[in-house]
Structure 1
Amino acid sequence: MPRFSEKSLTILATCDERLQRICMELIRQYDVKIIQGFRGQMDQEKAVKEGKSKKHWPMSKHNQHPSIAVDVVPFPIDWEDRERFFYMAGLFMAIANFMGIGIRWGGDWDRDKDFDDQRFDDLPHIELISN
């Protein structure tokens, strides 16, 4: 059974407990790595500059403490293998749905299940939303 590294657990601890619960269930089923939870002002502006985020500080859901967004990647990491991100996101959404937790995935911002209508793909990104 996969398990989180200490680094992933440390990052995950900066996130809302609902995201922590979903991620702890996800790792039981699929090997993933947590790469971002809370993001401070300098890191947020760096993410914008690098094209990894469209939101300036403090407008990202990563900027709240605890963070209401988490970035998760299938492990081992292969940024070119989009299908693994889609599979992971499906598991994440199913777990969240079972737990009654509303989420939005960065590969389907409008939540219409049409993955080809996005202007900005952020496949690792998962954020909490109101149900």
Structure 2
Amino acid sequence: MPQFGKESLKKLSTCHPDLQKLFNEVIKHYDCTILEGHRSDEDQLKAFNTGKSKIKSGGKHTHSPSLAVDVAPWPVDWNDKNRFYHFAGRVQGIAQMLGINIRWGGDWNDNNNLKDQTFFDLPHFELADE
């Protein structure tokens, strides 16, 4: 069974307990790595300036604990977009099973139409507002 390495566990520990619960279950079924949990304001600005975020300041990554997490299937292959879509479907299914409401960066409006997106952040998962 896959398990998180020390760095992934460290990053996941900066996240909201619901995200920790979710991805501690996901790792039992799908090998993945935690890319980022909590972001400092400086790191958030850097993500914005490099086009990795549409949010200049604030956002769900800068909360403490973080309300967002970036996770990729392992090993990471940024060119294999289908793998990210498959992974996201698994994450969403497990989240639903656990009763955790999430939003994925590949379907921001959560309408299951992946072709109407203007910004793709495939590793991004965040707790959705109720």
Give 3-state SS (helix, strand or coil) of 2:76's partner: coil
Give 3-state SS (helix, strand or coil) of 1:84's partner: helix
State the shift of 1:130 in Å.
3.1
Asked whether 1:97 is paired with 2:96, we answer yes
Which residue pairs with 1:33 in the alignment?
A: 33
- Whole-Å Cα distance in 2 between the matches of residues 17 and 9 of structure 1? 13
- Give TM-score scaled by structure 2 length: 0.98
Cα deviation, 1:56-112, whole Å, max 9, x if unaligned, reads 122x10010000000000110100101111111111101110111110000000111
AA at the equivalent of 1:112: N
Which residue pairs with 2:44 in the alignment?
A: 44
Which residue pairs with 1:65 in the alignment?
A: 64
- Whole-Å Cα distance in 2 between the matches of residues 84 and 15 of structure 1? 24
- Whole-Å Cα distance in 1 between the matches of residues 115 and 36 of structure 2? 25
Which residue pairs with 2:124 in the alignment?
A: 125
- Whole-Å Cα distance in 2 between the matches of residues 101 and 17 of structure 1? 11
- Whole-Å Cα distance in 2 between the matches of residues 130 and 71 of structure 1? 18
Which residue pairs with 2:78 in the alignment?
A: 79
Which residue pairs with 1:10 in the alignment?
A: 10
- Whole-Å Cα distance in 2 between the matches of residues 117 and 79 of structure 1? 21
Which structure 2 segments of 5+ residues have no match? Answer: none
Structure 1 stretches of 4+ with a deviation exceeding 3 A read none
- Give TM-score scaled by structure 1 length: 0.97
Which residue pairs with 1:110 in the alignment?
A: 109
May I ask how many residue pairs the two structures share in their alignment?
Answer: 130
Percentage of matched positions with identical amino acids = 48
Which structure 1 segments of 5+ residues have no match? Answer: none
